[in-house]
Structure 1
Amino acid sequence: MTLHTQFYTIYMMVLSGIYIGAIFDVFRVLAGKLRLPRWTIPLIDGLYWIVATILVFRNLIASNDGQVRVFIFLGIGIGICFYFGLLSPWVIRLTLLLIRIVIAIYRFLKKTVEIVLIKPIIGLYRLTVIILGFLLTVAIFLYKIVLQLLYPVWRLFFWITKPMHKYLVIPVWCKRLWGRIVSLYRRLFSK
């Protein structure tokens, strides 16, 4: 292994340490902001270590074909110390800013969907109910007028045909039906 490869490997491991620290802070801030249940902490820790391990070994393979030496751990430690000493507050602030931006975009989109889609549908539904109610009221009104106009005609018809009633055998169900019609008419128009 040449000296250039060793320096390049240390450089990549310092970067890996910085990445590991940044990923740790991002996971920590997200877990705090999302208020995840306590039982998810081991899952998040496991996910963190999987991502960190893949990142370190990818950089290790890219820098020196995956040879593990003592100075690799030294480079990772230097990167982690550098990150937590200087960069951690900035990454936390940036993560919090990104979370606020995502929340603001979500609220904007939610409000937009509510104003553009949901409120017009509710308004259309209410307008339809009002129109149908008005049409039903008009239909009932017209129905009552037609019944009142036809009532004298019915009375006249039955008065004319009354002498024939003695000779006609009217089934019982017709008499019941006629009684229901008359009672309905009296309920509707006796007021």
Structure 2
Amino acid sequence: MNLSVQFGTLMMMLLSGIGMGIAFDSYRVVSNRLHIGRLLIPILDLLYWLAATIIVFRVLMANNDGEVRIYIFIGLLIGIGFYFWLFSSTVIAFVVWLIETIRKLIRFLVRCFELLVIKPMLILYKLVRVLLGFALAISLFILKLTGQLLRPFWLLLAWMIRPAVRPLWRAIEPYWKKIDIAGRFIRIRTSCIALWKRWFGED
């Protein structure tokens, strides 16, 4: 292995040490901010060191075919020490700022979704309820008024056809009682009133 390859490998190990320091500080800040349980910390530490080892080995394979020399560990230690001496506090501050920015962005997006989607849908729902209630009330009023206006004509018609209907009624009365139309009508009316109160009553 010539000197240029050794120097290049040393520089890559130095950069790998800096990268390991950045990854460690980022992982530590994120785990603290997310309040990861203590039981998971050893597992995450193991995963961190496993990933770091694999990455360093791949860098070695790319630079000197995986040969392990003493200067490799020296380069890693220099890179890690250099990072914690100069850049650690800056990286921690940046990661904290990035996490808070992401949180604020998520809260902003959720708020926009509530204002632009959820609240208009609720307002539309309430408006439809009011319009349906108003239309139903107007319809019932018109039906009631029409019934009152037509009541004299119905009474006159009933008086005129009573002699012809009475024999027919005597013939179908037993079947009418079995069907119980009046009882069914009362039950349907009660169900409609209960449904009206549930939909259009006070919340």
Determine if the TM-score, normalized by the shorter chain, exceeds 0.5.
yes
Cα separation, partners in 2 of 1:71 and 1:55, compared to 1, 3 Å: same
Q: Structure 1 vs Structure 2: percent identity of aligned residues? A: 44
Counterpart for residue 151 of structure 1:
151
Aligned to 2:119: 119
The alignment's TM-score, normalised by the length of structure 1, stands at: 0.84
Matched residue type, 1:115: L
What residue in structure 1 maps to residue 172 of structure 2? Answer: 171
Q: Who is 2:21 aligned against?
A: 21
Shift of the 48–63 alpha-carbon distance from structure 1 to 2, 3 Å rule, reads same
The answer for unaligned runs of 5 or more in structure 1 is 185-191
**CA distance, structure 2, for counterparts of residue 160 and residue 147 of structure 1:** 19
Shift of residue 30 of structure 1? 0.3
Structure 2 CA distance for aligned equivalents of residues 14 and 123 of structure 1: 61
Pair 41,160 (structure 1): closer, same or farther in 2 beyond 3 Å: same
Give RMSD over aligned pairs: 2.3
What is the CA–CA distance in structure 1 between the aligned matches of 2:184 and 2:13, rounded to whole Å? Answer: 95
Q: Which residue of 2 aligns with 1:137?
A: 137
Closer, same or farther: CA 128–178 of 1 in aligned 2, 3 Å? closer
Q: Distance in 1 between matches of 2:46 and 2:184?
A: 78
How many positions carry a matched residue from both structures? Answer: 182
SS of residue in 1 equivalent to 2:39: helix
Task: Deviation per CA, 1:28-72: give whole Å up to 9, x if none.
Answer: 000011112333223322331232123212221222121111221
Q: What displacement does 1:161 show?
A: 2.6
Aligned to 1:67: 67
- 1:166 to 1:118, Cα distance in 2 relative to 1, 3 A: closer
Deviations 1:160-181 (A, max 9, x none): 2333455442422547647998
Q: Report the equivalent of 2:35.
A: 35
C-alpha distance 23-117 of structure 1, shift in aligned 2 (>3 A): same
Instruction: Give the Cα separation in 1 of the matches to 2:184 and 2:49.
Output: 82
Aligned partner letter, 1:32: N
TM-superposed CA distance for 1:139, in Å, is 1.1
CA distance in 2, matches of 1:67, 1:179: 95
Tell me the TM-score normalized by structure 2.
0.80
Could you tell which deviates more after superposition, 86-95 or 114-123? 114-123
Give 1:150 deviation, angstroms: 2.6
Change (3 A) 1:46 1:159: same
CA distance in 1, matches of 2:78, 2:72: 10
Measure, in 2, the Cα distance between the counterparts of 1:131 and 1:157: 37
Aligned to 2:195: none
The answer for the alignment partner of 1:81 in structure 2 is: 81
